[in-house]
Structure 1
Amino acid sequence: MSIYLHFRAVGRSDIRDDHTWLAAFMSDAWEDHVDEYAAGIACSINKGWDFVNDFYAAADAPDAGADEPWNLPIYGGRPVPHSADADPSDPPLMLLEPPGVSRAAHFLATVSFDELWNVVGARFSASGWTRQELLDHHRDLQGLYGRAASAGHAVVKAVWA
């Protein structure tokens, strides 16, 4: 079974802060994900997004908190709560507002992938991850967040099973 964390950049004024509406929007985006990936407005990670977050956590400073930039690309943002009339099968959703997108983009643009790999690469290799897999995810996220930040967009995140 595959389970994906789907990221979609979108203009803040183009979305509603409503779970039912966002779930339908993200469902349509998922249907068009090949075209959206090619356009650079979406990406996804199959099953291993927690590992990608753990990889970025290697950049954590000893006194860092939950809102530190390394935490933003994967888990940053706020949950969009289900409304009373929402379909229970709708995915969990997160919304990262444009200021958070800018902070995530800055982190991804300035963090050294090679330095992170030097710190935690052996542990990730032992878990079955290759350097190239993590680098591909990093580049996808770096591109998505960089373009979204430049455009002043938010990023919506959905989990699809």
Structure 2
Amino acid sequence: MSMYFHFRAIRPAALRNSPAWLEKLFEDDWDAVRERIGRHREEVLDKGYLDHELLYAGTEGGDSPAAQVVLGGRPLPHPDPALPPFVLLTAAQAGRVAAYLAAADFDDLWLDARDLLLKSYGGQEAEPEIHGAFAAAHRDLTAFYGQTAHYGDAVVKWLVP
């Protein structure tokens, strides 16, 4: 699998502010990750994660739940400066993101970002396929954050090389 953006739910009491500890969270093989995804304890976005950010955050920024769905949170630098930082969302932030996603209407989000997204994915001819892929990712992210909020967990994100 090529580079992807990885989300992992973590109990707040278990969360460490250590880059080495955070890196270990993402060392599992793909089969272990896939099993946790099935339980909505983990989620991944492929290399199009920046496009998902556009779908949610658009021009919003800062601490809004929409801006925290994909890339938002507190960055913690990786020990290797050539690698991207880890990103942490507190349990309260993850709960706000879950509430935002539960209330968000995907078709409204799609309409706002549609023209920009279709330019990157082959134009109007590709719309049914692209719409379906983004809708599926939206459902997966909504389930992930909903389950995370249900358990009161924090979220750690990392762009896995």
Query: TM-score band (shorter)?
Result: 0.7 to 0.9
Counterpart-to-counterpart distance in 1, 2:23 and 2:77: 11
Question: 1:14-93 alignment to 2 at 5 Å?
Answer: 14-28=14-28, 32-58=32-58, 65-82=61-78, 86=79, 92-93=85-86
Instruction: Please state how far the C-alpha of 1:31 moved relative to its aligned partner.
Output: 6.1
Q: Which residue of 1 aligns with 2:96?
A: 103
Counterpart-to-counterpart distance in 2, 1:146 and 1:106: 8
Counterpart-to-counterpart distance in 2, 1:96 and 1:30: 23
Runs of 4+ in 1 over 3 A off after TM superposition: 86-91
Counterpart-to-counterpart distance in 2, 1:153 and 1:88: 28
Counterpart-to-counterpart distance in 2, 1:57 and 1:19: 27
Tell me, yes or no, if the aligned pair for 2:56 and 2:67 is still in contact at 8 Å: yes
Percent of matched pairs sharing the same residue: 34
Gaps of at least 5 residues in structure 1 are none
Q: Return closer, same or farther for 1:99/1:125 CA change in 2, 3 Å cut-off.
A: same
1:125 to 94, 115, 118: 118
Gaps of at least 5 residues in structure 2 are 122-126
Counterpart-to-counterpart distance in 2, 1:95 and 1:18: 12
Instruction: Please state how far the C-alpha of 1:119 moved relative to its aligned partner.
Output: 2.4
Aligned-partner SS, 1:32: helix
Q: Return closer, same or farther for 1:88/1:127 CA change in 2, 3 Å cut-off.
A: closer
Between 1:34-43 and 1:87-96, the stretch displaced more is: 87-96
Deviations 1:32-74 (CA, angstroms, capped at 9, x unpaired)? 211111121011011111100101124x6xxx54111110111
Q: RMSD of the TM alignment (CA)?
A: 2.1
Counterpart-to-counterpart distance in 2, 1:53 and 1:106: 17
The number of aligned residues is: 154
Counterpart-to-counterpart distance in 2, 1:68 and 1:124: 22
Instruction: Please state how far the C-alpha of 1:135 moved relative to its aligned partner.
Output: 0.6
Q: Return closer, same or farther for 1:31/1:24 CA change in 2, 3 Å cut-off.
A: farther
Q: Does 1:116 align with 2:109?
A: yes
TM-score, length of structure 2 as denominator length: 0.86
Q: Return closer, same or farther for 1:18/1:57 CA change in 2, 3 Å cut-off.
A: same
Aligned-partner SS, 1:116: helix
